[in-house]
Amino acid sequence: AQKVTQAQTEISVVEKEDVTLDCVYETRDTTYYLFWYKQPPSGELVFLIRRNSFDEQNEISGRYSWNFQKSTSSFNFTITASQVVDSAVYFCALNQGGKLIFGQGTELSVKP
């Protein structure tokens, strides 16, 4: 069965700290897609990144970076030099067979 686990329910950091959000997934298929979404207090889910199962290159976008490791079925998300505006709930998701399966979410609080 497909499953996404975000073991960290809540994380609190002080501004400028680096923070890593963990995501572990389970799937039997060889072809799948992984996503990260951000949900700020306004409620709308904002797409951050998509990665397919054949592309294990790490990705960096500004202060955001993602580490995809098939060997450990993990797709972790790091925010460097966090800012108050990064405060949100972050969801990791697995797309297999056209359905998006979400983890439970990690609530990140960045304090000034």
Partner 1 sequence: DVKVTQSSRYLVKRTGEKVFLECVQDMDHENMFWYRQDPGLGLRLIYFSYDVKMKEKGDIPEGYSVSREKKERFSLILESASTNQTSMYLCASSSGQGGSYTFGSGTRLTVV
Q: Tell me the C-alpha distance between 34 and 78, whole Å.
A: 15
Q: Does 23 bind partner 1 (CB under 8 A)?
A: no
Considering the complex, state which of residue 28 and residue 99 has its C-beta at the smaller distance from partner 1.
Answer: 99
Cα 68–chain centre separation: 10
Distances (CA, A) of 83 to 51, 72, 86: 25, 29, 5
Q: Tell me the C-alpha distance between 69 and 30, whole Å.
A: 14
Considering the complex, state which of residue 28 and residue 112 has its C-beta at the smaller distance from partner 1.
Answer: 28
* Single residue of 91, 94, 108, 110 touching partner 1 by CB under 8 A: 91
**Measured from the CB of residue 90, what is the shortest distance to partner 1 in angstroms?**
11
**Measured from the CB of residue 77, what is the shortest distance to partner 1 in angstroms?**
15
Q: Tell me the C-alpha distance between 22 and 74, whole Å.
A: 7
> Mask of contacts with partner 1, 38-57, x by CB under 8 A?
----xxxx-x--x-x-----
Query: In this structure, how many other beta carbons lie within 10 angstroms of the beta carbon of residue 18?
Result: 12
List residues near partner 1 by CB under 8 A. 6, 9, 33, 35, 37, 42-45, 47, 50, 52, 91, 95, 97-105
